[in-house]
Amino acid sequence: MEAGAGMGRDAAVSKSEANGKSSSSSANGSANGEAVGGENIEEMPSSSPSAAQAVAGRQQVAMATLPRPAPAFRMVSAVIEKKEDGPGPRCGHTLTAVAAVGEEGTPGYVGPRLILFGGATALEGNSSAAGGPQTAAAGAGIRLAGATADVHCYDVTSRKWSRLIPVGDPPSPRAAHAATAVGTMVVIQGGIGPAGLSTDDLHVLDLTQAKPRWHRVVVQGAGPGPRYGHVMSLVGQRFLLSISGNDGKRPLADVWALDTAAKPYEWRKLDPEGEGPPPCMYATACARSDGLLLLCGGRDANSVPLDTAYGLAKHRDGRWEWAVAPGIAPSARYQHAAIFGDLHGLFGDLMRLGDEYGSPSTAGDITYIDYLFLGDYVDRGQHSLETITLLLALKIEYPNNVHLIRGNHEAADINALFGFRIECIERMGERDGIWAWQRINQLFNWLPLAALIEKKIICMHGGIGRSINHLHQIESLQRPITMEAGSVVLMDLLWSDPTENDSVEGLRPNARGPGLVTFGPDRVMEFCKNNDLQLIVRAHECVMDGFERFAQGHLITLFSATNYCGTANNAGAILVLGRDLVVVPKLIHPIPPAITSPESSPERHLEDTWMQELNVQRPPTPTRGRPQAGNDRGSLAWI
């Protein structure tokens, strides 16, 4: 490493800090596909009286001496003279306030600035955010493949954006990093880029001179380590703190301090007293001029968005202490979620969806998206083993970000007839194949039966049927559970369907078989009202566009496999949930193979994709809204 610019106390003291101004680093939280029936979020216990009183006392003093009206947002216009000067749409970047250089009215004076660094600019679908329109669909998912190391500057006085080209040793492209101001310098640490986690090196952008310069700072000993989604702030105009984040395996709750007034620079792990935040990532933090650090929001180890706020203070005797901030907590902060419908062994479509719209990996978009799959992973397709194996591996690698619930084909009596058992035996041999099939079905009996997002969206495979009126009915089902031991609630969850359209209300017999029902829009509206829900998302039926709305938009049917069983020619879709639970569908369409040889003919392609012989013997349920009158609706054709 090269020795870089110093970050001593002299450099840390600035005009903006003397006036009580500070910079903050922030990131978004995550929409949680919380399994219904899991543990409820408990309220955090109160902190020690001394710590809480210290925080409350400092807030009262600040309010008494600096009375200010409530802040309000307003739109600020910006000047962009050249296209490259503007940062364009992006996420995972940092925006840091930097103090003015020099005295106003003197030569060389530079006013206060906002310094934007890094972030991801590539949109889902392999397009570029910088050159394309900014739409709701575009903003719903951004990929780390487009992470940058760009630096843009917003002059607060002139309201003008400009692109900076610093000299020196720059950081690698990254997003979800942390940044904070130290005087007229910006310190960058951590993050994640196209190659995965960035190192924990400290990079300093020195803006004191006319030509900005990057430095890499030498820090001795062990440090926070590579991580992303953390926060960093300068406390007491002296201590550089790095808090929380994710090391690629799990959220963290540790606190590291670097004394900028002591050389050589060295990280020290703190052990603050008091009740501190749980392991979390994507929180936001800001240091006050009196030396108190405030930390708010983020998401915890279970991907639950947090609405808590904490203060971290350094006492005169050297002790650090956490305290829960008094007052009314803000609403919980969260990030996006991606929801998948039926896959039915179409491993190729799963790969296409990942390629088009982002994949759950540290080099993909696991940093800001949770993945929820609604069941029917196996049967009918030729690659059920690859599909379920990959999903289980992702669940093991990212247990708090990948969520799998159960479909009606995750049952031994069903997937013994519709292809999964046959595939296991043909590809693994009878002995190993039957063993694997049995073990996987044992796991299926443990899968959650529904998922709840932000307590406003309920996700399930089938529907609410005739029996489900309240969420506690789902929560009360004990796992492991088999269809034989299950109740009508389980049958409705996995097998029921909405009626043909919004004009058909009430309960009707379901053509899939005896004992099954369809439910009308009136049932949907009543269920949502009783449980304070906005939306039901379910799978289970093939729909032509990959998704279809019902009950005036209060229910969405989602199907992710294209050209179902080689005959439907339907699109596949996923749903991306963004801020304020805005639902954005993302589609893929069937792609016929190029006919260059008998091996790549459409017939051969279908044989490689679907179990054609089985699907001829047991035709699939017709595409929703397109009944096939010739089929016997009481037969296995309708499973």
CA dihedral 165→171→172→174, nearest 10 degrees, is -90
Give the separation between CA 447 and CA 526, rounded to whole angstroms: 27
Which residues, 6+ apart, have CB-to-CB distance to 31 below 8 Å? 305, 334, 335, 336, 337, 370, 453, 454, 577, 581
Going by their DSSP bridges, the two strands 547-550 and 572-577 should be labelled as unpaired
What backbone torsions phi and psi does residue 433 show, to the nearest 5 degrees? Answer: -65, -45
Cis peptide before 480 (omega within 30 of 0): yes
Tell which residue, 102, 142, 17, 133, has the closest CA to residue 576: 142
Other Cβ atoms less than 10 A from the Cβ of 462: the count is 29
370 to 141, 555, 571, 637: CA distances (angstroms): 11, 21, 23, 34
Quick check: is 409 catalytic?
Answer: yes
Tell me if residue 205 falls in helix, strand or coil.
strand
Q: Choose, from 409, 461, 540, 605, the residue flagged as catalytic.
A: 409
- Rounded to whole angstroms, how far apart are CA atoms 500 and 520? 8
Q: Hey, what amino acid is at 204?
A: V
Is residue 621 within 8 A of residue 512, CB to CB? The reply is yes
Q: What is the 3-state secondary structure (H, E, C) of 443-469?
A: HHCCCCCCEEECCCEEECCCCCCCCCC
Closest CA to 300 of 326, 267, 335, 327: 335
DSSP 3-state of 389 = helix
The dihedral sign for the CA sequence 522, 528, 529, 530: positive
In the structure encoding, which two tokens stand for residue 586, read together? 């993302």
Helix, strand, coil % over all residues of the chain, rounded to 5: 20, 25, 50
Question: Taking each helix axis from N to C terminus, what angle separates 384-397 and 347-357, rounded to the nearest 10 degrees?
Answer: 50
Q: Would you give the DSSP letter of residue 423?
A: H
Q: Do 187 and 207 touch, CB atoms closer than 8 A?
A: no
Show which residues are catalytic.
409
